Amino acid sequence: MSATQSNSLPLWVQDRDKVIEGSTDTQWRYQTPPDYSRSKENLAQESTRHHIEGTLEVIVQNLVRTFEMEVSFKTNPQQWLSVVNDKFRVSTNGGPEYTVKDLSAQGTYNLFMADSEHYKASAESFESSSEIFHTTFPQGFPWEVLEVFSGPPNVTFKWRHWGHFNGAYKEFAPTGETVEIIGMSIAKVTDDLQIISLEHYFDNTLFLEKLTAGGKLPMSDNKGSACPFSSWFKKVKKS
CB atoms within 10 A of CB 179: 20
CA distance to 12, 89, 119, 122, 138, per residue, from 129 (Å): 26, 21, 10, 10, 14
CATH number for 124: 3.10.450.50
Residue 176 Ramachandran class (φ > 0 left, ψ -120 to 50 alpha, else beta): left
State yes or no: pLDDT of 223 exceeds 80.
no
For residue range 57-77, list pLDDT tens digits in order. Answer: 999 999 999 999 999 999 999
Instruction: Examine residue 149 and state whether it is found in any structural domain, yes or no.
Output: yes
R_g (Cα) of the chain, nearest Å: 18
Beta bridge partners of 201: 184
Instruction: Examine residue 6 and state whether it is found in any structural domain, yes or no.
Output: no
Number of domains in the chain: 1
CB atoms within 10 A of CB 11: 16
State yes or no: pLDDT of 179 exceeds 90.
yes
Q: What CA–CA distance (Å, rounded) separates 128 from 179?
A: 21
Q: What CA–CA distance (Å, rounded) separates 118 from 120?
A: 7
| pLDDT tier for residue 226 given thresholds of 50, 70 and 90 | very low
Whole-model pTM: value is 0.86
Instruction: Examine residue 77 and state whether it is found in any structural domain, yes or no.
Output: yes
Rounded to an integer, the average pLDDT of 195-210 is: 95
Instruction: Examine residue 3 and state whether it is found in any structural domain, yes or no.
Output: no
DSSP 8-state symbol, 53:
T
Instruction: Examine residue 130 and state whether it is found in any structural domain, yes or no.
Output: yes
Instruction: Examine residue 62 and state whether it is found in any structural domain, yes or no.
Output: yes
Q: Is the CB of residue 68 less than 8 Å from the CB of residue 53?
A: no
Strands (E), 100-211: 143-150, 154-164, 178-189, 195-201
Q: Across all residues in the chain, what is the average pLDDT?
A: 89
Instruction: Examine residue 170 and state whether it is found in any structural domain, yes or no.
Output: yes
120: Cβ–Cβ under 8 A, 6 or more apart, which residues?
none
State yes or no: pLDDT of 114 exceeds 90.
no
115: Cβ–Cβ under 8 A, 6 or more apart, which residues?
121, 122
For residue range 8-63, list pLDDT tens digits in order. Answer: 899 999 999 999 999 889 999 999 999 998 888 889 999 999 999 999 999 999 99
Q: What CA–CA distance (Å, rounded) separates 74 from 204?
A: 26
CA distance to 66, 219, 224, per residue, from 185 (Å): 16, 40, 38
Instruction: Examine residue 151 and state whether it is found in any structural domain, yes or no.
Output: yes
CA distance to 89, 105, 190, per residue, from 84 (Å): 9, 18, 8
Q: What CA–CA distance (Å, rounded) separates 85 from 37?
A: 28
Percent of the residues in the chain that have a pLDDT greater than 90, as a whole number: 80
Q: Which domain holds residue 174?
A: 12-21+30-234
